[in-house]
Amino acid sequence: MKKNIPGFASTILLCAAYVWGLVEYVVWRSAALFVFSVAAVLLCAWATAFFARRALDKTAKASALFAAGFAVLQAGVALWVGCVLCHNVLEISYEVTVAVSALLSAALTVGLWVLSAKGTSKGFKASLAVLLAVFLGGAAFWWLLWFPQAPAYAGESYPQVKANIQIADAPAVTSAAPLTEEQKHALLQNPDRGFRMETYFTLGREPMVAYPSETEDPWEKLDHFIEKYQPESPQVIQLYIYLSNYREKPLDDLAFAQLKQILEYLDSRSIRALLRFAYQTEREELPDAAWSVVKGHLDQIGAFYQDNAKLVADSIYAMQMGFLGKWGELHSFINMKEKDLLPLFNKVMSVTPKNLYVTIRYTEYMSYIKPGYRYRLGIHDDTITGLPKVHWSSFRYNEPDNKAKWEKTFSRTVNDMEMPWDWEKIYGAWEDGAQDFIVPGYENEPDERGYYYYASAKSPWEPVLEMFKVYHPMTYSLEHNWRESDPAYGAMLGWLDETVTADWLTEHGLPYNARLFAEGGMNPFAYLQYHLGYLLTLSEKTADDGKVTFSIRNDGLAAPLTMQSMTIEADGKTYSVENWKPMDLQGGKELTFTIPIPGIADGTDFSVVLSPYAGCKYAVNCILGE
């Protein structure tokens, strides 16, 4: 029995460490988890060496040295693979890091036990069985029981058909007729893409106010923005819902009646919301709420989403993480604590209908999100400047490994961008050829993290467009540095005098539609106006031999991720394409569909409808190709 002690005891310790680490991550999610994972491996190594030395009966000294040496190797390799390779290099989250460290450490423990203690077959099997049982039990809990998903609005039910889909790079277009003004206008009416507006509502009082602690009428403010930006035709508005009046109590009927009224009004104006909840502003007397309060609010909001499923599906384009810190930007929080972040972020994901994407402010918080939710987790960078390391921007853009990693990640998610406020002086500094312009009080040198504070570059639009190749933005704010006041000023106004050419876009790997460039280049603002999000061309439509065939090309910066329904309308009937995956239609790609349609005659005209859900009133206007 003594010969079995080293492997069995160390395996038990390892299992306990795994369970403890899992609970630590799920419940608290603090920096202590990293320290704990290191300590757990070291503890197992020490226990192995200690018990192995005790169990040896003859060559105790030599075996003890062997056990100690193997323990050091065990600790070193487990830490290297688990903490360095998994987390730092592969950017795998901490929970996977702990699991990999545990498995490798267990394998080395068993190896040490067999070599030094000459353990029996029965003891080996018992140790391995305990390890596998605990690990598989923890994995089952992690993957199966910890990802509640709020149901999405189902929409209409139609007979389903399955398409044969071929994915290819979109072919180059050498010549094309320019689009008419009517066609251009139709493209700007497309939902869930393009330039967006911004507005605020504070719930809990009658009459409502727009911004907490102020008295401006939110309805007048909203109508003002809709009228102000009518020339740009935005179809999305960033909607701040402030819960400042409820930071110490549950939401009441008034709050939900007001929220419903706001969403119904936006729906009546055919504007979809990028929704963010917040408590805290820049004023010290308006802090955030404690996690115990926010948790209750999220349960109530989740119930509201389900009770108003169709309204939510019609009026909300995407969610922002919100709830935490100033303006819901996840920084400068007071009543929330670091240990509250993991349960907060995952609670937001769990109550949000599973068809809605959620954007988060900083990339370092993405690892806090459970793996089962990450497929619909995007980014919103509120400090777009074109500079590589600006303070408050979402990630270190200028590091090549970062660019490659995040470009792949962001291509699969809904992402939103905006510039800082009041940036016209920095734009002026660019025009003058100045090397840098710093907001008063900030330093010209980067801080200890290598971040600069609002420095400038000589050509403002070029680095911004290059950043958008990585970010794949669906929406971009009009309220920041574009006609900010009367008289209008803003950095983007200067873009109107610049020109983007098709050659420049090709050189920098950015997509564009040849028909929009048929008469030459366009200014950077106009390029973004049409190419933010998706820009689709439908071509080669035929009905022949009992099936329909067509191709869809995307010349936009992002895939049409929120258009989760594809239906075919022919002969007064509607069919739902069951294997349509909007993620496949990335910018610069073309998908060719061949779909059998029961009883369709040769030459029959048909429509292809892309929309957020089957039967939704919002659908995509495509350019019609040859």
Q: pLDDT-based confidence at 473, cuts 50/70/90?
A: very high
Q: What φ, ψ does residue 98 adopt, rounded to 5°?
A: -60, -45
pLDDT at position 593 over 50: yes
Per DSSP bridges, beta strands 194-202 and 475-477 are: parallel
What tens digit of pLDDT does each residue of 477-517 get? 999 888 877 666 677 887 888 999 999 999 999 999 999 99
Say if CB 87 and CB 97 are below 8 A apart: yes
pLDDT tens for residues 160-181? 999 999 999 999 887 789 999 9
How far is residue 163 from each of residues 135, 178, 432, 587, measured CA to CA in Å? 40, 32, 56, 21
For residue 388, name the pLDDT band (cuts at 50, 70, 90): low
Residue 579 has pLDDT above 70, yes or no: yes
Three-state SS letters, 550-568: EEEEECCCCCCCCCCEEEE
CB atoms within 10 A of CB 329: 20
Burial 277-313 (b: 16+ CB within 10 A, else e): bbbbbeeeebbbbebebbeebbebbbebbeebbebbb
Type and span of the H or E element at 123: helix 121-140
- pLDDT value at position 209? 97
Amino acid at site 169? D
Instruction: Name 476's bridge partners.
Output: 195, 417
Q: Is the pTM of the predicted complex or chain greater than 0.85?
A: no
pLDDT digits (tens, 9 = 90+) for 253-299: 999 999 999 999 999 999 999 999 999 998 877 899 999 999 999 99
DSSP state of 366: G
- Cα–Cα distance for residue pair 37/95, rounded to 1 Å: 10
Q: Average the pLDDT over 395-405 and give the result.
A: 67
372-409 burial string, b = 16+ CB within 10 Å, else e?
Answer: bbeebbbbbbbbbbbbbbbbbbbbbbeeeebbebbeeb
Q: What is the mean pLDDT of residues 394-400?
A: 63
